[in-house]
Amino acid sequence: MTPIEYGVLGKAIGVHRIFRLPKTLGYIAYWWILPDRKRPFINSLVVNKDTGIPGDAFEADPDTLAKLEKRDVNGKKRLFRELQKEVYDYPHWDEIIKDLGLTETLYYCEKLVEGMVQTGKED
């Protein structure tokens, strides 16, 4: 499991002002994840380059936020790894991608991210 850094994702999707990305991820959590907590926190996959975890603007349900608040940095890293594992283990991504008509977009994004991870370059 390899999370993606804010800067890498921002460049990949054309969001050049890094402060906009956490807000966008927050909207995804608020409108798509939180109403139906059966869905994993896909926003947990995007992390800060220096800390390796999502930033302070990470959106989640109150229980998850309370757990984060009580933990030190290492505890937060462990919790985020658990949340990220939920994303990767989620069995319904194919259905969601099909329903949203994102099949071609997903393929393009996967190839773009794979290339960035393999080369270690963000541009």
Taking CA atoms, 38 is separated from 6, 22, 41, 91, 106, in Å, by 25, 22, 10, 11, 22
Q: Report pLDDT for 121.
A: 54
Q: Report pLDDT for 84.
A: 93
Give residue 87's Cα distance to chain centre: 9
Q: Report pLDDT for 77.
A: 93
Q: Report pLDDT for 60.
A: 84
Each of the 123 residues of the chain gets a pLDDT tens digit; together they read: 688 888 888 888 787 766 677 777 877 777 777 666 678 888 899 999 899 999 888 888 888 889 999 999 899 999 999 999 998 898 988 887 777 776 666 666 677 667 666 665 554
How far apart are the two ends of the chain, measured CA to CA in Å?
A: 21
User: What's the longest Cα–Cα distance across the chain?
Assistant: 41
Q: Report pLDDT for 119.
A: 60
Burial readout 86-101 (b: 16 or more C-beta within 10 A, e: otherwise): ebeeeeeeeeeeeeee
Give residue 114's Cα distance to chain centre: 16
Residues in the chain: 123
Q: What is the DSSP letter of 43?
A: G
Q: Report pLDDT for 94.
A: 81
Distance from C-alpha of 85 to C-alpha of 110, rounded to nearest angstrom: 18
Q: What residues contact residue 3 under an 8 Å CB cut-off, 6+ apart?
A: 44, 45, 46, 47, 52, 84
